């Protein structure tokens, strides 16, 4: 039988306490706890969080941490949702509803200062209604210029982007490359995406954002950084995916998780230049939503559609 000494050329150390500065791959036996231990650097992992009160897909998110994030709208079968839930670190609590029931909407901001815009509102045509949240209630503000669904957004309640999506006219909506900018009072048309797309990940702020993946109609691997003026072609994600309602993070520390075709569990992080595969979601799914300021911090991914689960209430925490 092979032994550690035979394989590695030295014996396992017996220590009364864990070393203060262990090296990668180091192994030791803690004689105080009677536990064999080792040291390995990992990028992070997903673990179970508190379940949503209302299972749904195609919701939107706002927030910057696992202890303060909003799940906004969505759909549970034929029932569209105006419900909003707040995650406080271990469980979801229902807070005041949206004024306009909808799914596949865009969003930005934090759990106490959020903005939700456009989306599909129960019947054709799509709504262009925009609402802001002050931590207590939702208030209608100036409409988005072009109604759409399966879009994405990022930024704050005073400086947000409304990006891409699927728009009218006619009974067969078309993919859209249009981008609008919000200044806290009104929406203004900005420079279009390089490709018309929908159901993609987006993260960052109004002047420094990234759009990744999406459908046109097949799943895309494209990544498009934004500098506040124009979009450029960046490095592709490793796994082409669509049907993602939101991304999370900043332009130099972002994340794309889940998606389709199929029920994907892939998680990739972005460092401002390239994408890296990290630990998968425990439950592969698409049409989920995500929040958090940076994947190096504490992100959330919830809801969506998984295998045999059309409307999930599962929430996972990235640590």
> Considering only CA atoms, which of 105, 91, 304 is closest in space to residue 198?
105
Q: Which helix H or strand E contains 4, and what residues bound it?
A: helix 4-8
Per-position DSSP letters for 206-240, written without gaps between them: TTEEEEE--BSSSBB--EEEE-SS-B---PPPSS-
How buried is residue 232: exposed, middle or buried, by Cβ count under 10 Å (0-12/13-18/19+)? exposed
Give the pLDDT confidence of 263-279 residue by residue, as tens digits.
999 999 999 999 999 99
% helix, strand, coil for the chain, step of 5: 0, 45, 55
Q: Please, what's the largest Cα pairwise distance for the chain?
A: 73
Give the pLDDT confidence of 286-307 residue by residue, as tens digits.
999 998 765 556 789 999 999 9
pLDDT value of residue 114: 97
Quick one: average pLDDT of 222-237?
Answer: 97
Integer Cα distance of 98 and 204 in angstroms: 24
Supply the mean pLDDT for the chain. Answer: 89
Q: Taking the model in full, what pTM does it have?
A: 0.86
Tell me whether the omega of the peptide bond preceding residue 170 falls within 30 degrees of 0, making it cis. Answer: no
Half-sphere exposure of 168 (CA within 13 A, CB side): 15
Integer Cα distance of 159 and 172 in angstroms: 32
pLDDT tier at 171, thresholds 50, 70, 90 = low
pLDDT value of residue 284: 96
């Amino acid at each position: 039988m092979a032994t550690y000494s035979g394989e590695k050329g030295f014996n396992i150390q017996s220590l009364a306490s864990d070393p203060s500065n262990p090296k990668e791959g180091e192994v030791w036996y803690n004689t105080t706890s009677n536990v064999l231990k080792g040291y390995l650097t990992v990028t992070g992992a997903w673990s179970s969080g508190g379940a949503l009160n209302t299972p749904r897909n195609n919701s939107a998110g706002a927030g910057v941490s696992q202890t303060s994030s909003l799940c906004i709208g969505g759909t549970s079968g034929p029932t569209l949702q105006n419900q909003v839930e707040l995650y406080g670190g271990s469980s979801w609590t229902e807070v005041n509803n949206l004024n306009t029931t909808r799914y596949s909407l865009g969003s930005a901001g934090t759990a106490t200062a959020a903005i939700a815009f456009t989306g599909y509102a129960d019947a054709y045509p799509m709504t262009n209604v925009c609402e802001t949240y002050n931590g207590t209630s939702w208030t209608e503000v100036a409409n988005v210029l072009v109604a759409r669904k399966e879009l994405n957004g990022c930024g704050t309640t005073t400086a947000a982007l409304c990006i891409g999506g699927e728009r009218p006219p006619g009974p067969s909506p078309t993919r859209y490359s249009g981008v609008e900018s919000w200044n806290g009072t009104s929406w203004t048309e900005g420079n279009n995406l390089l490709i018309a797309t929908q159901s993609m990940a987006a993260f960052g702020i109004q002047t420094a954002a990234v759009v990744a993946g999406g459908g046109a109609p097949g799943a895309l691997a494209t990544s498009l950084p934004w500098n506040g003026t124009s979009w450029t072609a960046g490095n592709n994600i490793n796994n082409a995916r669509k049907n993602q309602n939101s991304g999370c993070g900043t332009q130099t520390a972002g994340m794309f998780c889940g998606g389709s075709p199929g029920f994907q569990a892939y998680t990739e992080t972005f460092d401002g230049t390239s994408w890296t595969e990290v630990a998968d979601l425990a439950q592969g799914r698409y049409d989920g939503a995500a929040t958090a300021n940076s994947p190096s911090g504490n992100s959330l991914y919830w809801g969506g559609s998984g295998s045999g689960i059309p409307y999930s209430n599962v929430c996972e925490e990235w640590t």
